[in-house]
Amino acid sequence: MSGEQSASAEHNTVDHKPTYGIYILVWLVLMTLTGVTVAVAGINFGNLTVATALTIACIKSYLVLTFFMHLKTETATFKIFVAVAVLFLLISISLLFSDYSFL
C-alpha cells in the first residue's frame, strides 16, 4: 500500500538466512535446563526453592521467545510490545501482593 509497507514486506522475506543448527542447539540447552530443574527440585533451598525453579523457567522462556519465536530478528516494536505485556503482569502481581503480603 504505502512505500513504507512494501519496503518492510520485502525486508520480511530477506531478513536472515534460515539454518537448522541454531534451533537444535537451543533445544539442547532447553533439555539440559529441564534436567537441571528436575534435579534441583529434590534439594531443599528453603524459600529459594521456588525462586530457583522460576529462574530456570524464566531462562527457558527467554530462549523460546528469542530464538523459537524469532524475537531476535524482529524489529524493536515487537520487543517493546512483549516488554509492555510482561510489565503489565508484573504490575498486577506486585500490587496484588501489596494486599496479601501485609495482612
- 57 is a site residue for other proteins (CB under 8 A): yes
- 76 is a site residue for other proteins (CB under 8 A): no
Q: For the chain, what is the largest distance between any 2 Cα atoms, rounded to a whole number of angstroms?
A: 59
Q: What is the nearest approach in angstroms of other proteins to the Cβ of residue 14?
A: 11
- 43 is a site residue for other proteins (CB under 8 A): no
Q: How many helices (H) and strands (E) does the chain have?
A: 4, 0
Q: How far apart are CA 35 and CA 32, in angstroms?
A: 5
- 93 is a site residue for other proteins (CB under 8 A): yes
For residues 30 and 67, the answer to whether their CB atoms sit within 8 Å is no
Q: Which residues contact 67 (CB under 8 A, 6 or more apart)?
A: 22, 23, 26
Chain positions contacting other proteins, by CB under 8 A: 1-5, 8-9, 12-13, 18-20, 23-24, 26-27, 30-31, 34, 37-38, 41, 49-50, 53-54, 56-57, 60-61, 64-65, 67-70, 74-75, 77-78, 81-82, 84-85, 88-89, 91-93, 95-103
